[in-house]
Amino acid sequence: MPESLPALCLIAMPGRRRRTIEIGQEAERRGFTGLYVPSPTGGMSTCEALAWNTEKVTFGTAIAPIYQRTMVDFAQSAAMMHEVSGGRFRMGIGIAHGPSYVRMGVTPGKPLADTRAFIEKFRAETGFGPLPPIIVAALRKKMVALAGELAEGVVFANVVLSHMGQSLAALPAAKRNDPGFFIGNMIPTCISDDVDAARATNRRTLTNYASLPNYRNYWREAGYVEEMDGIEKAIAEGRHPVGSVLPNEFELAEHFSVSRSTVRAAMRELQASGLVSRKRNAGTRVEARSPQRGAGGFTQALGSIEAVQQFGVETERHVQRVADIVTDDQLADALGCQPGRRWLCISSLRMIPGDATRTPICWTDVYIDAAFASEVRQRMNGHRDIFGTLVEQISGRRFSEIRQDINAVGVPVDKAEALKADPGAHALAIRRQYLFSSNEMAEVSLSIHPADRYSYTTRLTRQDARPA
């Protein structure tokens, strides 16, 4: 008896969407067992097209991030596809990962609690007709167990074959042996006559996944502790060394859940800064670890983003408190965000190394998007630079803009003693908002500098300098 064909993953990239649906139709004719669509470029929309353009193949999302739409919108769309397709649609859901939270502008809660709440609320939407079976994305055992408790399937990605038995042991025996309970593992596969080229392609793909903390945590659980230690060391030292070739635009767009046009814009910024070079058919090569002098870039009040980052190298940070914060109206206005947004707040004093008086330069409250909070808490004690560079390491993205506002204020009463300053004494209040190239704000710092300890110098030049 011939072995059955696997399910396929389909991604409908811009400009190839109609062709992707045609590939799905061909896969159905050839007898592939299913078609599953990830979230980049609109997984739910691709599934709706498959509902209308296929006849018998099972299809579904793998996955739809639970924070991406409202519950009513999810239920309406899912019920529609389930009915039109004759019950062939599967609703694959998951929590996604840190970079996508910033892109969607959401602040997640606890993965297990959020997933449980989503399933319960989704099934409570009974006004739109029958709803499809739910498949839960999982890596570690607790989420596998939740899938076994509440869902009709579980889907993994890049999991280790030798560890699969332990992962599936978290399912109830009845679910493990139920042919109607879906169990899948998404495996990146490259088909090529050139074996070395195929390996290089898969290596780049897995390198992207290795930058995500949730995958590293899973691979640790699976026994690859030494390898994950090495990867995290490489990330801390700079993930792409000078001379290496970056992943292609498609891979970067998929990894960061952004469009290829966003990737191109980011690459233009890097190229203008002298950090990379680009050649047709040769890829994007890393040329430097810091911007070249005189290269175009983002000129802020301190001259460059790198100049702001240098402040962390030249001073000492003494953390005073760490807390999870939800913004009220007043704090939201101070940060420049919406009320109700979740942040990790780290309050610190900055001092000059070797200063015998131990007089603080400033008090700084750093607010970091809650999507990165867990990883920042784990790594902050060993991180000397400003926290913005740590967020860059965790997210795998670079801040492309810092917006800075400076105001004259009095030293706040609640910070005067720590700053060794008189309440109400002259000071500068500096707010810096850190943004990725897609205009997503992932960090804000609010600093109070007593006037006698801080001076600010800037140099202005004409962008188009011509002889007088």
Range of the domain at 78: 8-186
Number of CB atoms found within 10 A of residue 175's CB: 20
Report the pLDDT value the prediction gives residue 441, as an integer from 0 to 100: 92
10-residue mean pLDDT profile of the chain (468 residues): values are 80 90 96 92 92 97 92 96 97 84 72 94 95 96 95 94 92 92 90 84 77 83 83 63 69 63 66 64 65 35 58 78 94 93 94 79 94 92 86 87 90 93 92 88 94 69 52
* CA 228/CA 219 separation, integer angstroms: 7
Domain-located, residue 163: yes
The answer to whether 360 and 349 are in contact (CB under 8 A) is yes
Q: Residue 97's pLDDT is what?
A: 77
What CATH number is given to the structural domain containing 286?
A: 1.10.10.10
Q: Is residue 386 part of a domain?
A: yes
Last residue of a domain, one of 186, 210, 228: 186
Q: What angle do CA 412, 416, 418 make, to 5 degrees?
A: 130
Based on the fold, state whether residues 292 and 309 are members of the same structural domain: no
pLDDT of residue 42: 85
Q: How far apart are CA 34 and CA 7, in angstroms?
A: 4
Report the C-alpha gap between 467 and 71 in whole angstroms.
62
Angle at CA of residue 334, ends 362 and 394, nearest 5°: 70
The span from the CA of 93 to the CA of 115, in Å, is: 8
Q: What's the CATH code of the domain at 421? A: 3.40.1410.10
The CA-atom distances, in angstroms, between 360 and each of 345, 356, 420 are 19, 11, 7
**What are the helix (H) ranges across 16-70?**
17-30, 43-53
Question: Residue 127 sits in a domain of what CATH number?
Answer: 3.20.20.30
| Three-state SS at 407 | strand
Residue 94, classed as helix, strand or coil, is strand
Q: What is the pTM of this model?
A: 0.56
* 54 lies in the same domain as 138: yes
Same domain, yes or no: 87 and 46? yes
> Do residues 372 and 395 lie in contact, with contact meaning Cβ atoms separated by under 8 Å?
yes
Q: Name the token pair of 300.
A: 């802020």
How far from 131 is each of 34, 74, 104, 219, CA to CA, in Å?
19, 10, 25, 34
State which of 186, 221, 255 marks the end of a domain.
186
User: H helices within 315-440, ranges in order?
Assistant: 329-335, 373-379, 387-395, 413-419
Query: Residue 99 has what pLDDT?
Result: 64
Q: Is residue 151 part of a domain?
A: yes
Please tell me whether residues 262 and 113 are part of one structural domain.
no
Q: How many domains does the chain have?
A: 3
- Whole-number pLDDT of residue 34: 95
Rounded to an integer, what distance in angstroms lies between the CA atom of residue 189 and that of residue 186? 9
Q: Is residue 342 domain-shared with residue 420, that is, in the same domain?
A: yes
| 138 found inside a domain | yes
Identify whether 207 is part of a domain: no
Written as six digits, the tokens of 19 are 């062709």
DSSP assignment letter at 129: S
Work out the number of other CB atoms within 10 angstroms of the CB of residue 338. Answer: 10
* Pair 53, 176 in one domain: yes
Last residue in a domain, options 186, 216, 232: 186
283 and 151 within one domain: no
Considering the domain boundaries, does residue 1 fall inside one? no
326 and 432 share a domain?
A: yes
Whether 293 and 414 share a structural domain: no
Query: Is residue 148 situated within a structural domain?
Result: yes
pLDDT for 240 equals 63
* Residue 461 domain flag: no
- Residue pair 198/191 in contact (Cβ under 8 Å)? The answer is yes
Q: Do 275 and 312 sit in the same domain of this protein?
A: no
Q: Are residues 116 and 23 in the same domain?
A: yes
pLDDT of residue 46: 95
Same domain for 73 and 170, yes or no, is: yes
Task: Tell me which residue of 414, 410, 417 sits closest to 450, measured CA to CA.
Answer: 410
